[in-house]
């Protein structure tokens, strides 16, 4: 039987439940990815300018809002969408590794494919939140995993949009 938790006031320090969930769900690879994304964004700011980075951030935010609305307006089978998205992600990773050696794909093509795959995964994650809310189930561990998943989806979408907007432009 699931217990209903009372709302707790927001404090400066995370609760022990959230801290424990982050320690168990946020592995070292995810933590490393979070720390690496900052210098990548800083590199883009120095090479293509802060205006392009800002436009990419706004575009990503609006796109995430649209994907969230789509997930809440339509009844989406999140298991099927997430499964297709995960399979597409595996194909994208293999294609990216092969493209490093055989140069059969342009970087902009890879960015468009990345944008499509992570958009599909984001819709699946938002649909999963909706399904859990409708069923009235969920715990802090699954909420943390979903929040982390949506965060990583947003970062990957942001980097793909940044690559597409930046293109070959370099600041002079």
User: Domain boundaries in the chain?
Assistant: 29-166
With a CB cutoff of 8 Å and minimum separation 6, the contacts of 152 are: 30, 33
Cα–Cα distance between 52 and 104 in angstroms, integer? 28
The pTM for the full model equals 0.75
Q: Which residues of the chain have pLDDT under 70?
A: 1-34, 135-141, 168-172
Q: Which of 60, 125, 131, 120 is nearest to 90 (CA)?
A: 120
* Buried/exposed code over 139-156 (b: 16+ C-beta within 10 A; e: otherwise): eeeeebbbbbbbebbbbb
106-150 pLDDT, tens digit each? 989 999 999 999 999 999 999 888 887 776 666 545 777 888 889
Cα–Cα distance between 149 and 11 in angstroms, integer? 23
Cα–Cα distance between 114 and 101 in angstroms, integer? 19
Query: CA 57 → CA 32, 45, 149, distances in Å?
Result: 21, 12, 18
Backbone angles phi, psi at 76, to 5 degrees: -110, 135
């Amino acid at each position: 039987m699931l217990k209903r938790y009372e709302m707790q006031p927001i404090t400066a320090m995370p609760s022990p439940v959230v801290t424990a969930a982050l320690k168990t769900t946020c592995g070292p690879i995810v933590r490393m990815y979070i720390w690496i994304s900052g210098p990548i964004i800083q590199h883009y700011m120095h090479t293509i300018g802060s205006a392009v980075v800002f436009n990419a951030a706004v575009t990503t935010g609006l796109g995430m809002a649209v994907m969230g609305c789509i997930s809440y307006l339509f009844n989406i089978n999140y298991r099927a969408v997430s499964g297709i998205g995960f399979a597409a992600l595996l194909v994208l990773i293999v294609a990216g590794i092969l493209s490093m050696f055989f140069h059969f794909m342009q970087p902009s093509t890879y960015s468009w494919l990345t944008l499509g795959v992570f958009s599909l995964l984001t819709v699946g994650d938002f649909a999963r939140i909706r399904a859990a809310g409708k069923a009235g189930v969920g715990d802090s561990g699954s909420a943390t995993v979903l929040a982390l998943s949506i965060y990583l989806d947003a970062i990957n979408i942001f980097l793909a949009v940044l690559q597409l907007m930046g293109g070959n432009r370099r600041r002079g």
